[in-house]
Amino acid sequence: MLEVAKDLGEVYKVSTMPLVQTLTPRLRKNEHKNTYSGNYGLNEFPFHTDLAHWYVPPRYLLLRCICPARNVSTKLIDSHEVINREVRDLLNRAHFRPRKRLDGKANILKVLHGELFRWDSIFIEPANNVADLLKKIIEKRLNNIQPKGIYLANTGDCLLIDNWRMLHGRGCIDSKSMDRKIERIYFNEVKF
């Protein structure tokens, strides 16, 4: 996968994680609370931006199917459906912070910063009253928008996600889907 990734663009390198991560279904009781599996286990994952708690999250992520689960979707919502004039003023005044400090720092984060739209209902939290209100509005909208479901149903199927625009989540894992295996790699930029 790394060879293909290098042809696609500039791979996002972080010393604390492998370039290619393998994602498999995990039981909540066996995982740490600083992961989605540790919070949701085999249940549906909520819509989010990967690494939203970082000051600058990776721009893109590529998912590649290693072992398919035909009934588990990756769900996508375009952030442009979440943002409208009603929330523009709130976006400018709302401040969020990472749930936990990174390297001893807790940067103040904006949900919308230039081209970057970030969202994560558990790993970033409101830092002021305006952010509390904005969180309620965003969560209500996410519940009312019909997501697009993408099924990585065959070995080798790939999905490239603009992590600064599209929110994504994972469908529920049932007993027939426990062998699902997806590889993930992050990019700073891709060649179009």
Cα 86 to Cα 8, 82, 137: the distances in Å are 37, 10, 10
| pLDDT at residue 47 in the model | 98
Domain tally, the chain: 2
d(CA 148, CA 70): 15
State whether 28 and 88 are in the same domain.
no
* 192 occurs within a structural domain: no
Helix axes 129-144, 85-93, angle to 10 degrees: 140
* 8 occurs within a structural domain: yes
pTM above 0.85, yes or no: yes
Chain center to CA of 14: 17
157 neighbors 4 (Cβ within 8 angstroms): no
State whether 12 and 92 are in the same domain.
no
163 neighbors 52 (Cβ within 8 angstroms): no
| pLDDT at residue 33 in the model | 85
d(CA 58, CA 126): 22
State whether 50 and 38 are in the same domain.
no
* 157 occurs within a structural domain: no
Average pLDDT along the chain, 192 residues, taken 10 residues at a time: 84 90 92 87 95 95 96 97 89 93 79 96 96 97 97 96 98 95 96 81
State whether 50 and 23 are in the same domain.
no
* 69 occurs within a structural domain: no
| pLDDT at residue 1 in the model | 80
Query: Which positions ≥6 away from 84 have C-beta within 8 Å?
Result: none
Which residue range(s) make up the domain with 12?
1-45
